[in-house]
Structure formats: C-alpha cells, structure tokens
Chains A and B, each alone.
Chain A
C-alpha cells in the first residue's frame, strides 16, 4: 500500500465528482456527529457492573446501563426455569444450535440428517422436561428465555418443513380437490397476520376440542407457528418444484417410476437443492416472528427482557434492554443470512464434470 495507491482509491471511490465529494463530506459529518457520542454512551461512560441500579440512575443519559443485563442475564436466558437446573436449558440450546450447524454443512446433506434430528430433538425433550435419568421434572410453564425462542423456531421448522413439502406437492398435483384444499389453506394463512393466528390458538383452539381435553399454552402457540411456517415454506418449495424442467418428470415417467419414487428420487432432491437459499431466508423471517408469542403471554427471549424491565429497580432502561435483544437476534439472523448468501454463490457454480 503506497500513498499514491491510497490517493487513487480515495479519488475513485469518494471524490470522483463534485456531488460525490459533497456526499462524502455530508456522510463524514453525520458519522462524526453520531459515532463518538454513541461510543461514549455505549462503552466509555457505560456502567458494566453494579450491585443495584443506583449507579445507573446517576449516569442516566450519559452512559448505558449494561449492569441491568448483567444482573438479569440468568432470567433473560432461561426464564423461570429452576435456578440450580439452568445447565439443562443451556445444554439444550447447545444441542439445538449444533443440529442447525450440522444441517448447514454440505457434508451432512443426506438422509442421515433425519435420524440425527430425531435423536437431537429427543435429547432436548429429555433435558427440558426431565423426569427420567434422575433429572427432576420441570413442567413447560416454567420454560422461558432464549431456549423457548430456539425451541419454538426449531420444532416449528422441523415439523412445518415436511408439511410444507406435502402442501407444495398437493398444490401441483393436478387433482382439483386436493389442489383447492392446499391453495385455500396456503392463501388463508398467508393473508392474515400471524397475531390473529396466535390469538386464534390461544382463545379459539380450546373451543375446538372436546370437553375435558386441554392443550397447554406453549403447544397451542407452537401449533399456530407450525401452520404459519408451513404455508410460507410451501410457496418457497413450490418455486423450487416449478424450476425443475419438464424433461425430468418425463424421463422419470419413461423409466416407469411410480409417483412417490419419481418425487422422492428425482424431483425433490433437485427442487430442494435450489430452494435452499430462499428457504433459509424464510427461516430467518420465522425466527424473528417467534418474538410475537410475547403478545399471547409466553416467555420467549424478548418477553423475559420486557418482564425484567417491569421490576421497579430497573424500569426505564428500555433502550439498553432492547438493544441487547436486537444484538442477540441479529447474531442468529446475520449468521443465517451470510450462510444463505455463500450457499447461493456456491450452488450457482457448476459441479465438476457437469456440462456448462
């Protein structure tokens, strides 16, 4: 890097013309006005640790109160789960994240993923509920925090995904009744806000069941989330199915394969492969949407943060609290979106031996 090179880069990228130079100076001025005070507030003048909120109140307006997060982190991460058992949700979080990472690696892309997922989800269930292997039983009213967000999104997607493939196949089946049912379901769910589905799950679902049968709140919300995700994923899968050239269907028919053999061996492997990047984008949206369960009173990550703020000692630190929430969600979503972008680029490359 020589000075001449730097100067040339600056000329080309920041000061190529008068309007451009003005734009650069304007942007620099904005940054200069915004960034140093922000750094002061968020880092230099921030209160990182304090036994109570007095120090934070004294610094109000000058520095951020991260001591609030430090004080409440166990509740924010694990909700009202018994305190001495917190290692269980922590381990369950690790298992769930591990499952996602394993599914993201192309090395694992095969039918082997199905048993891995089943074993992983059973392990998570045993860890969270307990009642066996000497683990005390914990009813799911006490689950909360980050683990609930991960559970809702993981179980939601794990069940919604196969359902969505069936819906997409149904929508393209050519049988008018089945097609009509699938289209009706997909368009109905996609046409209404998720909130109304969650309200429906929390107040209407109990009315649908025969007297004496009850489903707890978490499961009801989970059902609504599954139906919601299935409708959106089905449209993505349908896009993948539509992108498969007719010749593939005709070749499979010519080989005399049955419908299910054709679908499972020829069509789906290709269709799902090209729909992975948009599927991951839908996963991101779904992960963000799990935060809506707060409105029907479940304790997900955002909810535990909001509840922490209602404690009189810590009320009024909403900006810090929601920034923290934003960073946690951002970490998960950004990782997924980067992964999907990389994958898209890789899948666009021709495979070795493939004709261009």
Chain B
C-alpha cells in the first residue's frame, strides 16, 4: 500500500491529530491566562472557602436547618435541597396537569378541546421568565396584606406574604402512619408480583387493584386509630402583623412552582396528545374484539404503546424543568444557583461557584436521563 495525501484513513488520522493539538493549545491558552489573571487579582483558587462562615440568611430552610453562622457548604446544600424540592413537585404536578390537558385537547367535546388548545398555544409561546414575573406580581402586588387576606376555603388564606393553610398538628401517631403506609406500599408491590406469577401458572388473575387499594389504605388508617386518632389541626391565625401556625408557601416558592408547572404542562400536553394519536385505531378495535373492557384496553393495549412514543420527549421535558428551576434566581427563591450566585459575589470565587453549579446540574441531567433510558429500555418494543 502506498501512502498518499488522498488516502482517507491517513487524512482522518491527520485531521484528528490536528483537532487534538488545537484543543490542547486552546485549553492551555485559557488555563494559563486564567492562572495569570487570578494571580494578578490575588484570588486564591480552590474549594477552601466552602468551610468558611457564610454570614447571610436564607428565606427558605424547610428541609435543612440553617443560620447565617453556618458554612458556605451548608448554605449550598440548603440551595440544592430547595432545587430538588421545586423540581420534584414540579415534575409530578406538571405530568398530571399536562396529561389532563393533553387528553382534554383530544376530547370529543368541542369546547373543552378548544380551551385546552388555547391554553397550550398561549402558554408555550411566552417565555418562562415572563410567566414567573407575572405570577410573582400577582401574588405580591394584587393580593391584600395579611390583615385583609382572602379566605377562599375555611382556614386557607391568600395574602401578599404567601399562601397560608392548615396542616395536622404533629403527633407521635403520624410516625406510625407513615411507617404503615410504607409497609402497605411494599405489600401491594409484592402482591402484584405474586399475582403475575399466579396468573402465569393458572391463567386466573387475582383481583390486584382491589387488594392493592386495600393494602394502601387500611394499614395507615389502622395505625392512625391505634395511635389515638389525633385530629388537632394547626390552623393559621392572624397575630400582630402576620399569620402564625399552619403551613405557608412563600410568594417566591408559589410563583416559581406555579410558573414551572403551568409552563411545562403545556409541553407535556402536546407530548401526551402526540403519543395517543400515534396509536392506530385498529388497536382499540382489536382489543374490543378480544372482549377486553375499556379500562383494560387502555392499560394493556394503548398505554404500553403510547408510552413508547411519550417517554423520550417526556424525559427532555423533565430535564428542562430541572434546569429551568434555576430561573428562581430572578424572583429571589433561594435555589442552588441563587445561593451560588450570592456566594460568588461575597467570596469572589467565580470559577469554583460556576463549577459547582455545572457539576450539580450535569449530575442531575445525567441521572434523570439514565433513569429514563432504563425505563425506556424496559418498555421498548421487543422484536424477534
């Protein structure tokens, strides 16, 4: 074989060698500039600042106790917990709302379908940031102060300081209720697993949904009754200048979740609609012809096929929601980005701060997509 400039293999090697050299040169140039600049500005690099005292307060510390005397590391952990809280609530609620709207858009009822379409078209075409500001303005500017709070339901108050609502007062019995609920979930899953085996062996299917429902409801109720059936509620009451008691959703949290949920739901609605439309009518007819009832047709025939179409784009919407939760910084909700931003401003450790943000979001993105890929592989079409 003769070496020539026209040989594709040789050319590929040359191109790649060139790419490596270029990448290394650019990287070296940037790193050396950065080091020189850091030295000139007397900024010490490294993550040592994380163990220093943060010295700023955080508005929302529901999940992890925190005070200004704690370290930056703890402050960032609080931010991370807040990000998770928003993302988790957002993903669950947006999926439910999006599915409902997507199905409503497919409804045979003309009015309902048109309303759903109008919702989707409007919400999808307005930037999320505008919607967040809008919700925040509605809560902080248009709701009355705590003294004149609106009471849409007994015990629930809407005010510009947040949304106040009653919660059951804490009682030792609730620990048992939660434990019983967990045990019930495990038992229900085990029963469904056994039922599949039983059906494979005998051809008869035990009443899974009824038993599972009973397993989910009965143990917590029994635990609650055995624990003395506590019914005391902690109800918000107006005292001095604000409400005390009950639970509160801060305006920032309420605006952020409302914005994220309504925005993402409009995208999920379209995904669900496309997924259902992708199922051929013959599939319904064939299932009915086999004598399956409507519920079973949906569960055994339509949903498994629709999910195959739905899951990949749904994954990217979940990822988008998690990433979009970083817009919290614009309305002052203390999520990870917003606390990292404060940290960067106070310590000047910009590179480390941004590295933390990027590392955390990359981890979240990669884990969500890994999980959804696993789920997608499970439900994927198995061909011979």
Contacts and interface: CB of A to CB of B under 8 A. Distances in A.
Interface stretch (B33-41, B55-63, B244-252): B33-41
A140 interface: no
26 contacts: A16-B108, A24-B112, A175-B12, A175-B16, A176-B16, A181-B19, A190-B365, A193-B324, A195-B326, A195-B329, A196-B326, A196-B357, A199-B341, A199-B357, A209-B37, A284-B125, A292-B327, A302-B130, A318-B133, A319-B142, A322-B130, A322-B133, A329-B126, A330-B125, A330-B126, A333-B124
A265 interface: no
B354 A329 contact: no
Contacts of A204: 350-351, 354
Contacts of A20: 108-109
Interface in A283-328: 284, 288-289, 291-292, 294-295, 302, 306, 316-319, 321-323, 325-326
B362 A192 contact: yes
B112 A288 contact: no
Q: Which of B40, B130, B138, B358 has the most CB of A within 10 A?
A: B130
Contacts of B140: 318
Given A199-B354, A211-B40, A326 B111 contact: no
Contact of B38 (A207, A288, A326): A207
A326 B134 contact: yes
Interface residues of B, number: 57
Given A178-B15, A319-B141, A209 B125 contact: no
B109 A23 contact: yes
B17 to A, nearest CB: 8
A13 B137 contact: no
A191 interface: yes
The DSSP consensus for interface residues of chain A is: helix
A343 interface: no
A318 B354 contact: no
A237 to B, nearest CB: 17
B129 A292 contact: yes
A23 B112 CA distance: 8
Interface string B268-305: 00000000000000000000000000000000000000
A135 interface: no
A334 interface: yes
B126 A193 contact: no
A325 B126 CA distance: 9
A211 B366 contact: no
Given A196-B357, A302-B130, A27 B111 contact: yes
B126 A13 contact: no
Contacts of A295: 327, 329-330
Interface string A13-24: 110100010011
Contacts of A291: 127, 129-130
B357 A14 contact: no
A315 B142 CA distance: 12
Contacts of B351: 204, 207
Q: Which of A192, A193, A316 has the most CB of B within 10 A?
A: A193
A13 B130 contact: no
A289 B127 contact: yes
By Cβ-Cβ distance, the 10 closest A-B pairs, closest first, are: A318-B137, A333-B125, A13-B110, A288-B127, A177-B16, A193-B323, A322-B134, A191-B365, A203-B350, A193-B326
Interface in A1-54: 13-14, 16, 20, 23-24, 27-28, 31
